[in-house]
Structure formats: C-alpha cells, structure tokens
Amino acid sequence: MIAAAKIRTGVAGLDKMLHGGLVPGRPYILSGAPGSGKTILSVQFLREGLEGGERCLFVALEEPPNELKINMRAFRWNLDDLDVLDANSDIRRFEPTPLLEISTEEEPIKMRAIGERIRKTPDFESKEVTVHSLQQLLKNLLVKKSYERVVIDSITALKYFCMREFETALTTQSFMRYLSESKVTSLLTLELPEEGEVPPEAFLARGEFRLHKLRDETGIKRFVSVEKYKGSSHEEAVFPFEITNSGIVVNTVSKPAMAI
Ligand SMILES: Nc1ncnc2c1ncn2[C@@H]1O[C@H](COP(=O)(O)OP(=O)(O)O)[C@@H](O)[C@H]1O
Ligand SMILES: [Mg+2]
C-alpha cells in the first residue's frame, strides 16, 4: 500500500522533524506546559490549511474567541475564514450573564465576525458544555461543513470543565476514538505540568508533539520533540524553537539540542 501524502503543519521545521508533515485524517496531541506555545502552533496549523483553501475549525475551550483573536493579531495571519466554536464553559466565563452557550444546533462563528456580534441561545437557556454535546455538535458540523482541520484547545479543559469526575477516563478515550474515526486531521492541545510524564491521551493519538519550556540563567528556552508518530519515521532529536512575529520557528539547522 502506498502511504497517503503528508500535509504540512504550518511550521516548516516541524515538518522536517516529521519527515514531511502529518499523515492526514488522524488525531494528534500537542502537549506542553502553560505558555509553551500550544495555542499559537495550533492556530498556525489551521492557518496553513486556510492558505490551501481547506475548511478549518478551532474549538476554543480555554480562552474566549475575542481574546484569541487579539492574541493572534501580532502574527498578522489572515484568519478571516477560520471558524471558531466558543465552547468555553460557564464557570470560566467572565461575562456577567451565562447566555453564551453551545447547543447542538449552534454554528461556529467566523473569525472575521468575532467581536461584531455575540452569540446567544434563542431560548436563553443555560446549558452545560458537556463532552457529549460537544461531540454531537462536532459530528453534525463535520458532516455539514466537511472540515479538513480541527483544533481542540484544549483536551485538558474539556476534561476538567466538561466531564464529571467518574467519566473522565472513559469519555476522553471515546472522544479520542471518535476523532480517529472521523476523517479529519485534528490537533488536540494538552496541558503537561510535569516533564517526562506520559499523558494517557497520547496512547490513542497517532502522534504526540511536545513543546518544552526550560529556564536557564539567560532566560526561557523553548524546544520541540516528536514523542511518537505512528506509521512514520521522524527525527528523534529535540530541536530549539522561537516564537517570532511570524509564529513558531523551529531551528533544525543548528545542532540538535542536548537531551532534555
Ligand atoms: N507576539 C508574540 N511574540 C513572541 N512571543 C509571543 C507572542 N505572543 C505570545 N508569545 C509567547 O507565547 C506564550 C503563549 O503561547 P500560547 O500558545 O498561548 O501558550 P500555551 O497555549 O501553550 O499556553 C506567551 O507566554 C509568550 O511567551
Ligand atoms: Mg493555550
């Protein structure tokens, strides 16, 4: 069987590390500490899709879409056609009224329209964002809009804010399984508090790419590694990267970084 052509991640250096990019139609985990660059890289991944005329969806569970829009402004990416689904849970909202809810009928909003209008459920009913409602909504959206790239930012927030304690392990697994069955290429960000930990989500993902944030006497240093990549060869070394005005840039030219 001939392997499917790989697609670009939007970060040239990461594509090099992945020996050409991502095998499409599969779920991948992007893990790292808070502030390591996960959201930036995942938007860069969607922007790459938009440039190629693909339909892309960003599911925002960590920050309100208008904040995301402001944070991404510095990179001057054209994200007008990006669909953003506001799945921020009620308890994390700063708005005084809990009227901004997702229901299975709702549509994502275009990035270009964010800030110009506020979504409301027609019946003013406050619904919890559950993993089931999100999964159902995604199912409908994938059929209707045939997204090629989807980002879930983050699976950690989905776990903590949208699941009841007893259901986290099983529900996360079934959500990951659902994503692997749908034909979309998905990137799920994952908060990683401890270096060296293997998150359970990584077992079901087809690949895990990890952003490392280390501190030395000169300041913060960033590195990226490919922890796992099913069905593909990849670089084993850890490479330094920087967050620049044009997004994440991995330095694959200089000697690989020492083992972390
Ligand atoms: N315009 C920018 N230029 C350079 N670095 C930036 C810029 N915007 C954000 N950063 C860096 O990126 C970090 C946030 O990245 P983000 O992708 O939101 O992290 P994560 O999603 O992993 O928590 C900030 O803490 C800051 O160090
Ligand atoms: Mg983030």
pLDDT (average), residues 3-8:
86
pLDDT computed for residue 98 by the predictor: 39
Closest by CA position to 46, among listed 228, 167, 189: 189
Q: In the chain, what percentage of residues exceed pLDDT 70?
A: 80
74 Cβ contact partners less than 8 Å away, ≥ 6 residues apart: 245
In this structure, which ligand is nearest to the CA of 61?
Answer: 2
**CA–centroid distance, residue 213 to ligand 1 (Å):** 11
Rounded to 5°, the CA angle 114-119-124 comes to 165
Report if residue 234 sits inside a domain: no
3-state secondary structure of 238: strand
pLDDT computed for residue 34 by the predictor: 93
Taking 60 as the threshold, does the pLDDT of residue 203 lie above it? yes
Cα gap 178→188, rounded to integer Å: 13
Domain of residue 65, CATH code:
3.40.50.300
Query: Is the beta carbon of 156 within 6 A of some atom in ligand 1?
Result: no
Closest by CA position to 235, among listed 206, 205, 257: 257
**CA–centroid distance, residue 2 to ligand 2 (Å):** 36
Taking 50 as the threshold, does the pLDDT of residue 168 lie above it? yes
Query: Is the beta carbon of 260 within 6 A of some atom in ligand 1?
Result: no
Q: Residue with the nearest Cα to atom 14 of ligand 1?
A: 35
Residue 189 CA: which ligand 1 atom is closest? Answer: 21
Taking 70 as the threshold, does the pLDDT of residue 181 lie above it? yes
Report if residue 114 sits inside a domain: yes
Query: Is the beta carbon of 88 within 6 A of some atom in ligand 1?
Result: no
pLDDT band for 258, please (50, 70, 90 cuts).
low
Q: What is the pLDDT of residues 208-226, one digit of tens each?
A: 999 999 999 999 999 999 9
Report if residue 30 sits inside a domain: yes
47 CB burial (10 A radius; 0-12, 13-18, 19+): buried
Q: How many domains does the chain have?
A: 1
Query: Is the beta carbon of 150 within 6 A of some atom in ligand 1?
Result: no
Rounded to 5°, the CA angle 172-202-229 comes to 140
Q: Which domain holds residue 51?
A: 23-217
Comparing 145 with 91, the larger pLDDT belongs to 145
Report if residue 160 sits inside a domain: yes
Report if residue 233 sits inside a domain: no
pLDDT computed for residue 208 by the predictor: 95
Pairing of strands 185-191, 207-216: unpaired
C-beta separation of 101 from 126 below 8 A: yes
Report if residue 13 sits inside a domain: no
Buried-exposed string 132-171: b where 16+ CB fall within 10 A, e elsewhere: bbbbebbeebbeeeebbbbbbbbbbbbbebbbeeeebeeb
Taking 80 as the threshold, does the pLDDT of residue 195 lie above it? no
Query: Is the beta carbon of 36 within 6 A of some atom in ligand 1?
Result: yes
**CA–centroid distance, residue 199 to ligand 2 (Å):** 17
Query: Is the beta carbon of 35 within 6 A of some atom in ligand 1?
Result: yes
Q: Which of 98-102, 165-169, 227-231 has the lowest mean pLDDT?
A: 98-102
Query: Is the beta carbon of 39 within 6 A of some atom in ligand 1?
Result: yes
Cα gap 227→215, rounded to integer Å: 21
**CA–centroid distance, residue 182 to ligand 1 (Å):** 30
Q: Which of 30, 40, 61, 223 should be mutated for ligand 1, with most atoms under 8 A from CB?
A: 40
pLDDT computed for residue 89 by the predictor: 61
Residue 62 CA: which ligand 1 atom is closest? Answer: 21
Q: Which of 22-36, 180-194, 221-235 has the lowest mean pLDDT?
A: 180-194
Report if residue 10 sits inside a domain: no
Taking 60 as the threshold, does the pLDDT of residue 122 lie above it? no
Q: For the whole model, what pTM was predicted? A: 0.89
Q: How many helices (H) and strands (E) does the chain have?
A: 7, 10
Taking 70 as the threshold, does the pLDDT of residue 241 lie above it? yes
Which amino acid, 114? I
Taking 90 as the threshold, does the pLDDT of residue 257 lie above it? no
Q: Token digits for 111?
A: 């990035």
**DSSP assignment of 76-128:** T---TT-EEEE---GGG--SSSTT----TT---EEGGGBTTB----TT-----
Q: Residue with the nearest Cα to atom 27 of ligand 1?
A: 35
Residue 33 CA: which ligand 1 atom is closest? Answer: 22
pLDDT computed for residue 100 by the predictor: 40
> Which span out of 49-63, 91-105, 242-256 was modeled with the highest average pLDDT?
49-63
Rounded to 5°, the CA angle 56-71-185 comes to 20
What's the chain's average pLDDT? 84
Report if residue 223 sits inside a domain: no
pLDDT computed for residue 173 by the predictor: 81
